[in-house]
Amino acid sequence: MFKIVASRARASTPHARNALLSYNVSRSGHALSSATVEAEEISGSRPAEVLNLVQGKWVGASKWNTIVDPLNGDPFIKVGEVDETGLQPFVESLASCPKHGLHNPFKAPERYLMFGDISAKAAHMLSLPKVSDFFARLIQRVSPKSYHQACAEVYVTQKFLENFCGDQVRFLARSFGVPGNHLGQQSHGFRWPYGPVAIITPFNFPLEIPVLQLMGALYMGNKPVLKVDSKVSIVMEQMLRLLHTCGLPVEDVDFINCDGKTMNKLLQEANPRMTLFTGSSRVAEKLAVDLKGRIKLEDAGFDWKILGPDVDQEDYVAWVCDQDAYACSGQKCSAQSLLFMHENWASTSLVSKLKGLAERRKLEDLTIGPVLTFTTESMMDHMKQLLEIPGSKLLFGGKPLEGHSIPPIYGAIKPTAIYVPLEEIVKDKNYELVTKEIFGPFQIITDYKSSQLPTVLDTLEKMHAHLTAAVVSNDPLFLQEVIGRSVNGTTYAGLRARTTGAPQNHWFGPSGDPRGAGIGTPEAIKLVWSCHREVIYDYGPVPNRWEIPPST
């Protein structure tokens, strides 16, 4: 790893920071000069500290929340959490940003270029092996997942930043013109920032989700306050320090650690013009009411996969199903929660192969690990309720992990699959139970006949969250039927279809809800982080011999 060489003092000017970065990179073999922690050295005896950033200064708080190591329960991170009495600096900071933003097509357009440069420098930093390894291992410490999965998160973030280098940020603000009714009149449509905004992101992707949404907000000219789940906020604290080193003005982003109640109060008092929330549907619905609809949501998803009638590449399909359901211990908002197998697939060895793949996963390499939002007991209770449904059965898993020191506040179970008959799933008394999202290594499997496809599609229609889906088939008529009668915002179709593993090159987000937020692409950034403004130029000339007409 590399040494800590930066202090927690306020960053210097952008030019000085960039010069220091170049000097340190060339002198120390690409050491991360901004890092204030060593991922592998964080422990109960050497706890890390996470600060807040407001009005350009890193500050602590009157209260320190102790985060325990999800693998052994040791108190290993101290997070300075702001309480309701400490919100005023954050309120004032957001209030300092006008509604027309920090930049827009008519104001400070050079900032579009600045963010293209920042993206280029940050992308380069994340491409360096020592830097990407630092963030991957830091992610593993707070949101345990395999090294491969953690590296993939860093890679997607780096490629996203590459996508918005150079002129690509200003291209996000591309306008259009339409001829008017008479000489001198033209209407122009512009993408306009909201100004003061808020971003709230969850624990499961502590780098990718906050960076992609934060940079999108900044690109369009907004000033965000960012809150990341305190369990993992150390990752984004370190990334912000890197971004400052790459030229991000320290006053452009506020970073707050606090509990949900305090954040809700901040939103009420600061009144941001728009809030992006990624997380549970329950919290999302509450915020939508509290914020009077000024919100974009990328909320939870009970995500489904349908295996069509054409059976092919059984080993490959089984492997994708295992990855979709159990990678990151199932803690992806895109995780496969419900698998519909056509009767042709049900007669193959797919389930036994899926069982074998699931049983390869082990805690030692974090291909299975702690569940941070459900306890073992709650997941086992849910399984018991499902097994009371007539015809249901445990296919594999269904037991707690053994031989570990994961604290009891978190969950630890083996990858689990439960079969529930389709005719039981559709019953009102069972439907809510079967489609309850368990944010862990847990899925429902069922089968259907060709004649039951309408029942399957009706089941999808009843769902409330429509994030990701997969239709595994190369039959174009089957794909047409399923895609035409479903709404999931990110839907994969074809033999290689999956529900997880979204790269940076396509839209990721829900559909069927006007509040739905996307992430990653220019379309997502423009939808979430800007609004439309129309400017109608009408220069004249006024026609010769014009006279005041009669009143109308």
Choose, from 246, 258, 328, 333, the residue flagged as catalytic. Answer: 333
Strand order in the sheet with 442-448: 393-396, 416-419, 442-448, 336-342, 303-307, 468-472, 490-493
**Buried residues in 497-510 as b, exposed as e (16+ CB within 10 A):** bbbbbbebeebbbb
Residues 257 and 64: their CA atoms lie apart, in Å, by 10
> Which among 243, 269, 283 is positioned nearest to 18, based on CA atoms?
243
Identify the active-site residue in 298, 377, 432, 523. 298
Which alpha helices (H) appear in 349-463, and where do they start and end? Answer: 350-360, 376-387, 422-425, 428-434, 453-461
| CA 505 distance to own-chain centroid | 15
Helices within 297-444 (DSSP H only): 314-326, 343-346, 350-360, 376-387, 422-425, 428-434
Paired tokens of 411: 């969950």
Give the chain's length. 552
Strand residues in 112-259 grouped as ranges (E): 176-179, 185-192, 196-201, 223-228, 254-255
Which tokens belong to 90?
Answer: 């954050």
Structure tokens at 387: 């097994």
| 333 belongs to the catalytic site | yes
Residue 258 a catalytic site member: no
Question: Helix crossing, 110-127 with 129-142: angle to 10°?
Answer: 80
Element (H, E) at 90: helix 88-95
> How many CA atoms are closer than 13 Å to the CA of 348, on its beta-carbon side?
18
Exposed / middle / buried, residue 168 (Cβ in 10 Å: 0-12, 13-18, 19+): middle
Q: Which stretch of DSSP H or E encloses residue 421?
A: none
Amino acid at 467: L
Could you give the CA distance from residue 229 to residue 523 in angstroms, rounded to a whole number?
26
Contacts of 145 (CB under 8 A, 6+ apart): 139, 327, 328, 329, 331, 366, 369
Q: Which residues carry out catalysis? A: 298, 333
